[in-house]
Amino acid sequence: MVEVRLENIVKKFGDTVALKGINLHIKHGELFTLLGPSGCGKSTTLRIIAGLDYPTEGKVWFGDQDVTNLSSSERGAVLVFQNYALWPHMTIFDNVAYGLKLRKLPKEEIKKKVEWALDLVKLRGFEDRYPTQLSGGQQQRVAIARAIVVEPKLLLLDEPLSNLDAKLRLEMRSEIRRIQRELGITVLYVTHDQEEAMAISDRIAVMNVGTVEQVGTPREIYEHPRTEFVASFMGKTNVIPAKVVERNGDRVTVEFESFRLENLHYTGESDNVVIVIRPERISLQPVEDGITLEGTVDLVEYYGFFIEVIGLFGETRIIARTIGSRDVGNIKPTMPVKFYIRRDDILVLPKQQL
Ligand code: ATP
């Protein structure tokens, strides 16, 4: 187990500034995820922690040891890449045993450890097979067994599930969570998939063009995004450009199109704002201390266990998500509709240059 701290990490590749001063604190035994769109700097951050690349500025700490200039092997961290490349000519046993053989452990001990690791990923009995004789998910599990068998201080997983189909991804992410809990190791996970990040992580850092915009538990990030980028990146959400037209302490009135929303919480400086409303927080029935938006139905989309009603308010499309068809009744496109939203569920954030 290890605690990792990144202190003001800057990484330049020629003129490209891939990381613009990253500060992160990853605690002992937590599953910490770097989440963000392609090119935001997730892999670069991971490689700098692994010791596969070095920062232009800043420091990397493992506990109270400054590891900034240590090589990868001196750090005791193991990185599993998205293309988990097993050695095709080696059996599963030899693939997993590889790191232990390099360390010249006695044969008996290697056997015991390999069996332990294969048990953990539920692949006992597959020792004599070759990688091509396994499914994608099984190969991925071998890659994880190969990483944990050397008992790393830190396990780094870079989009480890991206080559798997949807069902296997779900299975494997629960497996990774289980293994991490069982071993109590610190895991740093990289993904661009917000749902995967939410499901698997203790905490998430949301990254955007070389910076960390917010760090928090999945719930904090989803329910209390601090920036427009974080709000819009975390799942389907309504982000409506608006203007602050009146202020009274930390309460404001905002306007978009011909709609005027009063008494909302906002403490930002800019009057150019966005209103953020999660679709599942919009009701088709009146709510307490809420606002009402009157518009027309544009579309009704049926997803099985929930239904989305897309309303048109002027030219602004707003999605409401409701569970069960009873609330929706006979609503059809072009019909008038009222969306009800509790004031507490409306977030006003400064408009960002995205
Ligand atoms: P993805 O999800 O697509 O893997 P990422 O968030 O992991 O993206 P990085 O691979 O860390 O992003 O890249 C961050 C930025 O740094 C990108 O703009 C990328 O083009 C640039 N970059 C990364 N590696 C190099 C390199 N070796 N030389 C030049 N530029 C690089």
Report whether 328 contacts 300 (CB < 8 A).
yes
Atom from ligand 1 closest to the CA of residue 46 = 11
pLDDT tens, 185-196? Answer: 899 999 999 999
Is there an atom of ligand 1 within 6 Å of 192 CB? yes
Query: Is pLDDT of 250 > 80?
Result: yes
Q: What is the 3-state secondary structure (H, E, C) of the chain?
A: CCCEEEEEEEEEECCEEEEEEEEEEECCCCEEEEECCCCCCHHHHHHHHHCCCCCCEEEEEECCEECCCCCHHHHCEEEECCCCCCCCCCCHHHHHHHHHHHCCCCHHHHHHHHHHHHHHCCCCCCCCCCHHHCCHHHHHHHHHHHHHCCCCCEEEEECCCCCCCHHHHHHHHHHHHHHHHHHCCEEEEEECCHHHHHHHCCEEEEEECCEEEEEECHHHHHHCCCCHHHHHHCCCCEEEEEEEEEEECCEEEEEECCEEEEEEECCCCCCEEEEEECHHHEECCCCCCEEEEEEEEEEEEECCCEEEEEEEECCEEEEEEEECCCCCCCCCCCCEEEEEEEHHHCEEEECCCC
Query: Is pLDDT of 38 > 80?
Result: yes
pLDDT at 72: 86
Q: Which of 13, 47, 190, 194 to mutate to test the pocket of ligand 1 (most atoms within 8 A of CB)?
A: 13
Share of the chain above pLDDT 90, in %: 71
Mean pLDDT of the 101-105 span: 89
Query: Is pLDDT of 170 > 90?
Result: no
C-alpha to C-alpha distance for 114 and 117, rounded to whole angstroms? 5
Range scoring the smallest mean pLDDT among 33-37, 213-217, 326-330: 326-330
Task: Label residue 229 by pLDDT band (50, 70, 90).
Answer: very high
Share of the chain above pLDDT 70, in %: 97
Query: Is pLDDT of 152 > 90?
Result: no
pLDDT tens, 270-317? Answer: 999 999 999 999 999 899 989 999 999 999 998 888 899 999 999 999
pTM: 0.88
Residue 109 Cα to ligand 1 midpoint, Å, equals 40
Is there an atom of ligand 1 within 6 Å of 13 CB? yes
pLDDT at 122: 85
Residue 235 Cα to ligand 1 midpoint, Å, equals 23
Query: Is pLDDT of 163 > 80?
Result: no
Task: Label residue 97 by pLDDT band (50, 70, 90).
Answer: very high
| Domains present along the chain, CATH in parentheses | 4-229 (3.40.50.300), 236-350 (2.40.50.140)
CA–CA distances in Å: residue 95 to residues 92, 104, 158, 326: 5, 15, 19, 55
- The chain-wide mean pLDDT, for the chain, equals 91
Residue 18 Cα to ligand 1 midpoint, Å, equals 7
C-alpha to C-alpha distance for 62 and 154, rounded to whole angstroms? 9
